Structure 1
Amino acid sequence: MRWLSVAHPGHMEALKEIIRAGNGNIYEVYTGGSPDCIGTARSGLGRTTTEDIREQVEYAHSHGIRMNIVLNSSCLGGRHLTQDGHNLYRWYLNVLNDIGVDSVTVAEPFLVEMIAKEFPDIDITVSCIAFVNSPQKAMYYEELGAETIALDININKNFPVLQNIREAVSCKLKVLVNEGCILDCPFRYAHFNLLSHANGPEPRPPLKYEYYQQRCATMRVKHPELLISSGWIRPEDVKEYEAIGIDLFKISGRIQSVNWITNCVRAYSAREYHGNLLELLDSTRELRRLFYLPNDALEGAIEKWKVCDKNCYKCGYCKRLSKEILVYSGRRTPNEELKPLNEYLVVE
């Protein structure tokens, strides 16, 4: 069974390497569309032309793999409800349909319903940044026409909610396995809205600096337990989600290097990883250099998270775990062994 949804930077050589690394487990690859038509919630890597996409669709199909184009701006500036905007989106979706794209990922409810009605040959995936986090919201999107829903990462470790959603809908459910955002991040909505405009049609804001990413990274350095309470899923724990009916597992990171993506694909395909879990997470490079989170030391933690009520201020499990296993490497000398975090820092 194919069960991986894999980030794809958008060029043919990357696609070939990703498919080789997938070992027959890749269900689909996903990549961004044209920012001149509709933006995405990630920074762009350059422009992928229609002919590039056509060639890559054909190559993916020859290996039994689907192609998903990400059009998941969280904010369209109202353009989708104008005649010009509607005409532009209809034109672009016609182009994608003609070249054989299998599915698109969108976050805007209007686009879900429009595509379902006007483009029945294109499957619709509701983006994780639609923040589907309840059975009710999942049911709304399924009724609008969603074939797949990528769930809000904030419920990745909330098994009662995941199970309730699974019981409420018949569409496919997808979870992100390696996104490194902090749990219930206060910046997440604003950050995705910013990226939607920065990586969408003109005019694009000339950003001075990436406030949200820098602030989020600073919080994790100050409170290292946030690295553990995040919504990632270890390769070894995928089976726990399959057991409750999750269909697809999405590897995030299409703006990362190809080598990084294929390393993640191999780890999740093998369902095991020995090393720094942060190396698999789609987060800032600085955090990977600063901390070492031994994946093997997390074995069994899923049993706690499966029954956790997510009241972190009362529980303290992730905070205790961070003191026990998280290693701080920022002050290493060539002859210094890595030591637990609490030997370097005071974690209040």
Structure 2
Amino acid sequence: MGNPDIKFSLAANYDPEIVPELAHCSVEEVYGKFPADGVSGGRPRYMSSPVSGKALRNYVGLLSRHGIAFNYLLNGSCMGNREWTRAWQKNLMKLLDSLGGMGIKRLTISTPYLLELVKKRFPEFKVKVGIYAQVDTPERARFWEELGADGITLESFSINRDFRRLRGIRKAVRCELQLIANHLCLPNCPMQPYHQNGFAHASDEPGTLFIDYCFLRCSRKRLEDPSLFIKSGWIRPEDLGSYAEIGYTRFKLLERGIPSSELLKRAKAYSEGRSVENLAELLLSHGFREPQQKESFWALRNFFKPLQASPSKLKPLLDLARQQGMLFPLKENPVRIDSRMIPENFLDAFKDKDCISLDCAECGYCAKIAEKAVVVSPEFRRESLSRFSELEKNLAEGKFWNA
């Protein structure tokens, strides 16, 4: 079994059937939000699980009866300057009143003004800073704590394996610190600001088409260079103890809207401190055998924008999503990261190393492990790279818009 001091924040898919099991997996809170709430979020609307106000209230009550809190996400990195308008302010007040009435007492926020606003007008909420605030130094962590943050999710894409910096941040603040354990983002991703701002606007602007260029680009890069599956800053279930030793006992587990069986698999693996045979099953946000729950007329609502782009030109994009298992089921996951081929002492190589300052090509540590551990279906890889190349070419040349 895992360390009893370690607790998890798990993504919501609003399935009441799995809540009793989550209570036995050290899940301290579940996080989620309405598909759209007039504020801003950290995922596009099309990735959200549908949930009504009544259903959310009932779900929050069920969680509470099992000793689990609900954390409502207001974690967009950009509000489009709407936060300075009367309409946005009134909508936010109404939303926060409603959330409080449902028994929700936790929020995640990524912008300093919104944190100040909540702490001033709704001090009863416990507020955690989201990853899109990009807190990756002691100074940044101290800034948010002094602003009133009760907890901070650190910029896990870049610092999960930077133990010197993790120690420095932990020493600098007293508030709760959280790391995202199971992401596959590119290390120190150069597209992060563009990506998170695109997500913020796509979370709450239903009339605007959003094409996830960054996800297409990084998915292609991983297929071109499978060592990136190892270089990404994920944390194995077995390695949580190394983080607990330096004061990190709170971990966030992705991803929202995935099938219940996959959420449970992740919660159980991390709570027990033991990886599944294919580590990719704990990391990928797509490629599942079961379909993901979506709102009615999902594709039509989110991608049929004839005044913005030709529907026929967008069909290859949906075909790619289907082929990749993005929001569509697959018979078998084409990506395998064999956890048995990852050394037991894998993390030791990073404890006295600053990867940000090193050239990966000269180090070669992750690449050597990837040669043994990572297997991608050759047919899937070949077809995917061809589709990615054609889509990126059409985007760059403006063919989606006949521009």
**Fold match by TM threshold 0.5:** yes
Aligned to 2:56: 53
Alignment correspondent of 1:107: 110
Q: How does 1:123-138 map to 2 (within 5 A)?
A: 123-138=126-141
RMSD in angstroms over aligned alpha carbons?
1.9
- The code of the aligned residue for 2:43 comes to R
Q: Is the 8 A contact 2:43 2:202 kept in 1?
A: no
1:230 counterpart residue number: 232
Residue matched to 2:153: 150
| 1:320–1:53 distance in 2 versus 1, CA, 3 Å | same
Question: 1:237-274: CA deviations, max 9, x gaps?
Answer: 01111111113111110121111111111111111023
Counterpart of 2:80, as a letter, is G
In the TM superposition, residue 18 of structure 1 has moved relative to its aligned partner by 4.2
Tell whether 2:200 aligns with 1:196. Answer: yes
Corresponding position: 1:306 with 2:351: yes
Q: 1:194 to 1:144 in 2, by over 3 A?
A: same
Report the Cα offset of residue 329 of structure 1.
3.2
Q: Distance in 1 between matches of 2:25 and 2:282?
A: 20
Distance in 2 between residues matched to 1:160 and 1:284, nearest whole Å: 33
Q: CA deviation at 1:217?
A: 0.4
What are the Cα deviations for residues 297-330 of structure 1, in whole angstroms up to 9, with x where unaligned?
Answer: 2221100122221112432211222123322333
| Aligned partners of 1:197 and 1:204 also within 8 Å | no
CA contact (8 A) 1:175 1:248 kept: yes
CA displacement, residues 14-34 of structure 1 (integer Å, 9 cap, x when unaligned): 143144145151110111135
Letter in structure 2 aligned against 1:48: V
Q: Which of these residues, 277, 280, 283, is aligned with residue 278 of structure 1?
A: 280
TM-score normalised by L of structure 2:
0.77
Structure 1: distance between partners of 2:281 and 2:234: 12
Name the residue aligned to 1:20. Answer: 21
Could you tell me whether the CA contact under 8 Å between 2:77 and 2:132 is conserved in 1?
A: yes
Between stretches 306-315 and 266-275, larger displacement belongs to 306-315
Q: Structure 2 matches for 1:287-298, cutoff 5 A? A: 289-298=333-342
The one-letter amino acid of 1:290's match is P
**Residues 1:37 and 1:294: Cα distance change in structure 2 (over 3 Å):** same
SS of 1:289's equivalent? coil
User: 1:320 pairs with 368, 387, 398, which one?
Assistant: 368
Please give the residue correspondences for 1:249-268 in structure 2 after superposition, counting only pairs within 5 Å.
249-268=251-270
Q: Could you list the runs of 5+ residues in structure 2 that have no partner in the other structure?
A: 288-323, 326-331, 381-403
Aligned counterparts, 1:55-74, within 5 A: 55-74=58-77
Who is 1:33 aligned against? Answer: 34
CA distance in 1, matches of 2:111, 2:55: 26
Deviation readout 1:131-159 (Å, 9 max, x if unpaired): 11001000011111111101111111111
1:168 is matched with: 172
**Structure 1 Cα separation of the partners of residues 241 and 207 of structure 2:** 42
Contact 1:293 1:327 in 2 (8 A): yes
Q: Name the stretch that deviates more: 312-321 or 216-225.
A: 312-321
> Which amino acid is 1:196 matched to?
A
Aligned-partner Cα distance in 1 for 2:21–2:44: 25
Pick which of 85-94 and 125-134 moved more.
85-94
Q: Is the 8 A contact 2:39 2:88 kept in 1?
A: no
User: Could you tell me how far apart the structure 2 residues matched to 1:89 and 1:8 are?
Assistant: 22
Task: Report the equivalent of 1:343.
Answer: none
Percent of aligned pairs sharing the same letter: 31
Residues 1:229 and 1:46: Cα distance change in structure 2 (over 3 Å): closer
Q: Is the 8 A contact 1:18 1:262 kept in 2?
A: no
Whole-angstrom distance in 1 between the partners of 2:169 and 2:129: 14
| Alignment map for 1:239-258 (pairs within 5 Å) | 239-258=241-260
Q: How many Å apart are 1:87 and its aligned residue?
A: 2.2
